[in-house]
Amino acid sequence: MRAVVDPGVLVSAALSPSGTPAKLIEAARTGQLALVVSALVVAELEDVLGRQRIRARLDAVALDRLRRVLAEAPLVEDPAAEAVSRDPADDYLIALARASTADCVISGDKDLVSLDDLEPPVLTPAQALARLRSELPA
């Protein structure tokens, strides 16, 4: 599965090494999930990771794992975004997913998760993990 992962999910992976977002990063590390990464995704991620209240809670091992996985993902050029969601700051994720032919966007953001009949679909981390598990060979 090829996916654009909302930076909020990536931050969650670095905060909680046993949570569902961290399991998605592990799936990316093992090649089961292909991450679509762009300059805007990285910039938003670094902005949030740099905030004192977040930085103080980061798990060093999980953060290192996240950074290694992201460094291995190819960097895709950010396309122009059109208005799709209630929050214009989220529209770049949909545009990136469409331009890169990703299978989905993975997000916990209510403005994105609430979008119905969107192509590609927006999945919560739990939905994405369930889909990955269903794709494993028996």
Domain boundaries along the sequence of the chain: 2-130
101 φψ region: left (φ > 0), alpha (ψ -120 to 50), beta (else) = left
Q: How far is CA 102 from CA 19, 36, 52, 53, 94, in A?
A: 23, 7, 32, 32, 10
Six token digits for residue 42: 């990285």
Consecutive 10-residue averages of pLDDT for the chain (138 residues): 97 95 96 96 95 93 94 94 89 96 96 89 96 81
Q: Which H/E stretch holds residue 105?
A: strand 104-106
pLDDT of 138 reads 57
CATH number for the domain formed by residue range(s) 2-130: 3.40.50.1010
pLDDT of 84 reads 87
Q: Which amino acid is at 138?
A: A
Q: Is the distance from CB of 66 to CB of 29 less than 8 angstroms?
A: no
pLDDT of 116 reads 86
Peptide bond into 120 cis (omega under 30): yes
Q: Is the distance from CB of 24 to CB of 33 less than 8 angstroms?
A: yes
pLDDT of 115 reads 87
